[in-house]
Amino acid sequence: MNVVPRRSRFARGGQRIDVSFEFFPPATAEMEGILWESIKRLAPLTPSFVSVTYGAGGSTRERTHNTVKRILAETALTPAAHLTCVAATRAEIDAIVRQYGEAGVRHIVALRGDSIGGPGTRYAPHPGGYANAADLVGGIRKLGDFEISVSAYPEKHPDSPTVEADIDMLKAKVDAGATRAMTQFFFENDLYFRYLDRVRARGIDIPIVPGILPVQNFKATTGFAARCGASVPSWLAERFHGLDADPATRKLIAAAVAAEQVIDLVDRGVTQFHFYTMNRADLVYAICHLLGLRPAVEQAA
Ligand SMILES: Cc1cc2nc3c(=O)[nH]c(=O)nc-3n(C[C@H](O)[C@H](O)[C@H](O)COP(=O)(O)OP(=O)(O)OC[C@H]3O[C@@H](n4cnc5c(N)ncnc54)[C@H](O)[C@@H]3O)c2cc1C
């Protein structure tokens, strides 16, 4: 069987739209069921890849690996495994990368990770470990022909003293072999475009793919944003105000907000999107539909 898109997916200007979906490894059997329902619903949209996060401090090492392996075994999707430098020696991380290579995984999302004390506490590299994300990218590069994606921060990473220092780190990651960056989520598109201008001015030419977070839960999003240095504009709070006890309306508002954001990005020339799915398919599916993506159909070879 060949899987082919039923209708081609092109932005208004005629350019192809590509998407990727991020999932986290489930902690319980119930969450595993939700994840797999979501993967099955989103798979026919033929994303370029689906990525699986790596828990803080390496806490999901096995679960990340198992989820990635199941995606390889049971779907036609291309998985990307997230990996961080936290709480492991180089030898331990290299062994994980080799295992992925042997299992047929060709794409790693290479990150420094958060300090073990959590966001806000000072990061200290593991003795004998990779010092930072650029160091990790270089290490993975030596171990095989992997596609390597990294993070980017339109509003600056909280550890970074300035945007320029942040962009220096991005440059180091690209020089070490990264070929794509996915951004932290943001709600004001101008922040992304201002950042993109600075990145391009620094001579970085890899795709800087906007990370889109559909707001499944406004309160949780606010807490998450505060920890990772993303701003939540007052107009967004205003849109969700008064809806705490009204999940159906919240969902419609969330779809409208995300739709407005991605359509503006497309109108301004963006053709690739990375969706933080939070393991839920509905909003992401609807937004992809708006972007012109349609489910693939299977055809006899
Ligand atoms: C697309 C995406 C996917 C992610 N996936 C995961 C995941 O699966 N698991 C997970 O645990 N986390 C994940 N994160 C979060 C990420 O691990 C944290 O933001 C972490 O704090 C930084 O890792 P990084 O690779 O993004 O950092 P880097 O790009 O290496 O660094 C970010 C900034 O911090 C500065 N910096 C780094 N170290 C120091 C230091 N010691 N002192 C001062 N400044 C410093 C750098 O200069 C740079 O400006 C993800 C983030 C994004 C955007």
Mapping DSSP to helix (H, G, I), strand (E, B) and coil, where does residue 155 land? Answer: coil
30 is a catalytic site residue = no
Q: Which residue's alpha carbon is nearest to atom 14 within ligand 1?
A: 113
Residue with tokens 């990772």: 228
How far, in whole angstroms, is CA 242 from its chain's centroid? 30
Q: What pLDDT is recorded for position 118?
A: 73
Whether 160 lines ligand 1, by a CB cut-off of 6 Å, is yes
C-alpha to C-alpha distance for 163 and 198, rounded to whole angstroms: 9
Counting ligand 1 atoms within 8 A of each CB, the residue from 157, 166, 198 with the most, and so the one to mutate, is: 157
**AA identity, residue 87:** A
Q: Are 160 and 228 in contact (CB under 8 A)?
A: no
Residue with tokens 């932290």: 184
End-to-end CA distance of the chain: 5
What are the percentages of helix, strand and coil residues in the chain, rounded to 5? 45, 20, 40
Counting ligand 1 atoms within 8 A of each CB, the residue from 83, 159, 279 with the most, and so the one to mutate, is: 159
Closest ligand 1 atom to 82 CA: 8
Whether 211 lines ligand 1, by a CB cut-off of 6 Å, is yes
Q: Are 288 and 50 in contact (CB under 8 A)?
A: no
The total of other beta-carbon atoms located within 10 Å of residue 108's CB is 28
Beta-carbon-side half-sphere exposure of residue 194 (alpha carbons within 13 Å)? 11
Q: Which residue's alpha carbon is nearest to atom 52 within ligand 1?
A: 151
**Could you tell me whether strands 147-152 and 180-185 are parallel, antiparallel, or unpaired per DSSP bridges?**
parallel
**Cα angle, residue 153 at apex, residues 117 and 180 outer, rounded to 5°:** 110
Question: How high is the mean pLDDT in each 10-residue block of the chain (301 residues)?
Answer: 51 80 96 98 97 86 94 97 95 97 97 84 89 98 97 95 96 98 98 98 98 94 93 97 94 96 96 97 96 77 47
**AA identity, residue 23:** F
The total of other beta-carbon atoms located within 10 Å of residue 290's CB is 14
Q: What pLDDT is recorded for position 301?
A: 47
Mapping DSSP to helix (H, G, I), strand (E, B) and coil, where does residue 273 land? Answer: strand
Q: What pLDDT is recorded for position 6?
A: 46
Q: What pLDDT is recorded for position 122?
A: 84
Q: Are 93 and 136 in contact (CB under 8 A)?
A: yes
Q: What pLDDT is recorded for position 12?
A: 56
Predicted TM-score (pTM) of this structure: 0.94
